[in-house]
């Protein structure tokens, strides 16, 4: 037996079999429709690239973060959803779970995302419009009514007030009888990308980073199965970056979070296993697959060599993927089903742990039940019918895939080195470097579309005259008034003196170095609202004002 055969046997016997045994639903004979056995990993060419790639589930994780990948368990199938009231969103969540979705993904409205209650004047006209309105613990209870939080993994796309929404989730779990240590899910909690690509920030960077490290510490001690942050390349890509920039800027932000946590006194291997990532998947099929593989390898090297991590769990880049919202077209919206399918397939071949597939009508309005069902069925067909989940890393060894992986890693590393030279991600954000790079890429892409150097089917080529006749879903204008009335009654029924005292305590704690999360949980349990908590923090920390560059 040569060295390669010995290594392969060791991997299969000691690593693959114990992992797959955890997931009996995937215990099956892996064969093609013609009866050809599908090995967990293809064997030709190992001698040429084994040393560099390693095995799946082993450093540097180029080939996946689990030894068995989808042979052991499919990725978590999520559909990002939330609109109008908590009751309406709850109905959509339960519908999706009935259709086979395996995890929830919550979209919040703009007032919630920037820390305002639905009854505040600045929220007028935006309540329930791009997500669900959540101002109080009562709203959160309604959102998850009849959904057992110890059975479902929940992802929440929330950033500046992420700690408050997590506190509400913990409080809802307690009311259901679910202790925090049994909760599973993710809060996005990635404020740096808000400053460069999305804009739903509240506080300046320093106190925002303090909230994030408070969350790291609280979750490590109380919610060990929770992903404390989802470091997002998705919004960077949607703002116009290239795939290389998406990897580079996301990992540069991740490095900044790790450095901040270490400076706050946390040990890297205590909090790093709870870090997660969030990437977009766009249309260039092979580049996207290579992007995911390159990101995994680069992050593993960063954690091992830069931060001296001793834990494989700290080095694993686990990520959620969403198909590209900016790639959807209002023209010929049915074409978006094809785009989403290609992107979802690339995400699976790239080794994602969780996936959201966009609906065909999202460039026009809120997706209907039919369109979200088609989007979910897309994932299920890939999982059960395509055969790609039967092999751990189907495309490894492809000359083009390996070349693209190497190139993306090298170019992303060059960006990170450049950002390090500026003093890190925060400095690169403050001087506008990252923003300008994204803007330049977005401009170049748009010029390519307008100059017909890039074909966008149905938009700048293959156009037709059409009237879109897909059933639409719109938020009833009465939703806002109903939400305000319910919130008013909620505030009237509580102990106003107790609320005042808690807000005073919150203000004092915010001025100290004490972890804010335990107090936030207590506040929301005593009916203090999201807007009131964020209002106190605005008073103490102020609001972020983006710089103006010449």
Q: What is the pLDDT of residue 474?
A: 73
Other CB atoms within 10 A of residue 438 CB: 23
Cross-strand partners of 103: 78, 153
Q: How far apart are CA 179 and CA 166, in angstroms?
A: 14
For 2, residues 6+ apart whose C-beta sits below 8 A from its C-beta are none
419-461 pLDDT, tens per residue? 999 999 999 999 999 999 999 999 999 999 999 988 999 999 9
Q: What is the pLDDT of residue 53?
A: 76
- Please, is 493 exposed, middle or buried when counting C-beta atoms within 10 Å of its C-beta (0-12, 13-18, 19+)? exposed
Tell me if 364 sits within 8 A of 371, measured CB to CB. no
Other CB atoms within 10 A of residue 525 CB: 17
Q: What is the pLDDT of residue 230?
A: 97
Helical H segments across 328-477, by residue range:
335-349, 369-385, 399-422, 425-430, 433-450
Q: What is the pLDDT of residue 5?
A: 65
266-278 pLDDT, tens per residue? 999 999 999 999 9
Report which of residues 19 and 119 the model is more confident about: 119
106-145 pLDDT, tens per residue? 999 999 999 999 999 999 999 999 999 999 999 999 999 9
Helix, strand, coil fractions of the chain, as percent rounded to 5: 55, 10, 35
The SS3 assignment for 211 reads: helix
| H or E element in which residue 221 lies | helix 205-222
Confidence label for 37 from pLDDT (cuts 50, 70 and 90): confident
Q: Give the predicted TM-score (pTM) of the model.
A: 0.92
Q: What is the pLDDT of residue 15?
A: 54
Widest distance between CA atoms in the chain = 77
Residue ranges per structural domain of the chain = 1-29, 150-450
Cross-strand partners of 319: 277
Tell me if 352 sits within 8 A of 76, measured CB to CB. no
Q: Is the peptide bond before 79 cis (omega within 30 degrees of 0)?
A: no
**CA dihedral sign of residues 533, 535, 538, 543:** positive
The SS3 assignment for 57 reads: coil
Among 152, 170, 154, 149, smallest CA distance to 227 is for 154
Q: Where are the beta strands (DSSP E) in 257-368?
A: 275-281, 319-323, 354-356
| H or E element in which residue 232 lies | strand 229-232
Asked if residue 7 has pLDDT above 90, the reply is no
Cα dihedral 231, 159, 513, 522 in deg (nearest 10): -130
150-450 is classed in which CATH architecture? Alpha-Beta Barrel (3.20)
Q: How far apart are CA 144 and CA 24, in angstroms?
A: 29
Q: What is the pLDDT of residue 21?
A: 44
Across the beta sheet with 275-281, the strand order is 226-227, 185-187, 153-157, 103-107, 76-81, 354-356, 319-323, 275-281, 229-232
Tokens for 71, please give them.
């042979």
336-354 pLDDT, tens per residue? 999 999 999 999 999 999 9
Cα dihedral 32, 99, 277, 438 in deg (nearest 10): 100
């Amino acid at each position: 037996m040569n060295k390669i055969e010995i290594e392969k046997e060791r991997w299969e016997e000691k690593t693959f079999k114990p992992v797959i045994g955890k997931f009996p639903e995937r215990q099956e004979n892996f064969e093609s429709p013609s009866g050809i056995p599908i090995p967990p990993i293809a064997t030709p060419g190992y001698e040429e690239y084994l040393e560099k790639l390693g095995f799946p589930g082993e450093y540097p994780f180029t080939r996946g973060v689990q030894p068995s990948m989808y042979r052991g368990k499919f990725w978590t199938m999520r559909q990002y959803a939330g609109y109008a009231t908590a009751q309406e969103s709850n109905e959509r969540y339960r519908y999706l779970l009935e259709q086979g979705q395996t995890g929830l993904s919550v979209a919040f409205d703009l007032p919630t995302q920037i820390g305002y209650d639905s009854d505040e004047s600045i929220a007028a006209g935006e309540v329930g419009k791009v997500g669900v309105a959540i101002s109080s613990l009562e709203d959160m209870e309604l959102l998850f009514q009849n959904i057992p939080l110890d059975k479902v993994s929940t992802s929440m796309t929330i950033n500046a007030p992420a700690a408050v929404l997590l506190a509400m989730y913990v409080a809802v779990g307690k009311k259901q009888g679910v202790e925090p240590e049994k909760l599973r899910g993710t809060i996005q909690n990635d404020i740096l990308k808000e400053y460069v690509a999305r804009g739903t920030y509240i506080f300046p960077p320093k106190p925002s980073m303090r909230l994030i490290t408070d969350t790291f510490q609280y979750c490590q001690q109380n919610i060990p199965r929770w992903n404390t942050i989802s470091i997002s390349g998705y919004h960077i890509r949607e703002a116009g970056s290239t795939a290389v920039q998406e990897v580079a800027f996301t990992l540069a932000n991740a490095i900044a979070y790790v450095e901040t946590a270490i400076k706050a006194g946390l040990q890297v291997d205590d909090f790093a296993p709870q870090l997660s990532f969030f990437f977009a998947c766009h249309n260039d099929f092979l580049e996207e697959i290579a992007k995911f593989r390159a990101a995994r390898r680069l992050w593993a090297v960063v954690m091992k060599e830069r931060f001296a991590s001793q834990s494989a769990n700290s080095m694993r880049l686990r990520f959620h993927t969403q198909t590209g919202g900016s790639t959807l077209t209002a023209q010929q919206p049915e074409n978006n089903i094809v785009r989403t399918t290609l992107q979802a397939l690339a995400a699976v071949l790239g080794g994602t742990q969780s996936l959201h597939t966009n609906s065909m009508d999202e460039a026009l309005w809120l997706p209907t039940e039919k369109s979200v069902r088609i989007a979910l069925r897309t994932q299920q067909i890939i999982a059960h019918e395509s055969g790609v989940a039967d092999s751990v890393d189907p495309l490894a060894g492809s000359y083009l895939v390996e070349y693209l992986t190497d190139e993306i890693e090298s170019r992303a590393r060059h960006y990170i080195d450049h950002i390090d030279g500026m003093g890190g991600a925060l400095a690169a954000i403050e001087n506008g470097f990252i923003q300008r790079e994204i803007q330049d890429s977005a401009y170049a892409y748009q010029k390519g579309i307008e100059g017909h150097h890039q074909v966008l089917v149905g938009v700048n080529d293959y156009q037709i005259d059409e009237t879109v006749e897909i059933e639409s879903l719109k938020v009833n204008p009465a939703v806002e008034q109903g939400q305000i009335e319910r919130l008013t009654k909620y505030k009237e029924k509580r102990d106003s003196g107790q609320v005042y005292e808690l807000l005073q305590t919150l203000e004092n704690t915010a001025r100290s170095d004490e972890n804010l999360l335990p107090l936030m949980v207590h506040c929301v349990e005593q009916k203090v609202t999201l807007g009131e908590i964020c209002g106190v923090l605005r008073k103490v920390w102020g609001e972020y004002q983006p710089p103006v560059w010449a």
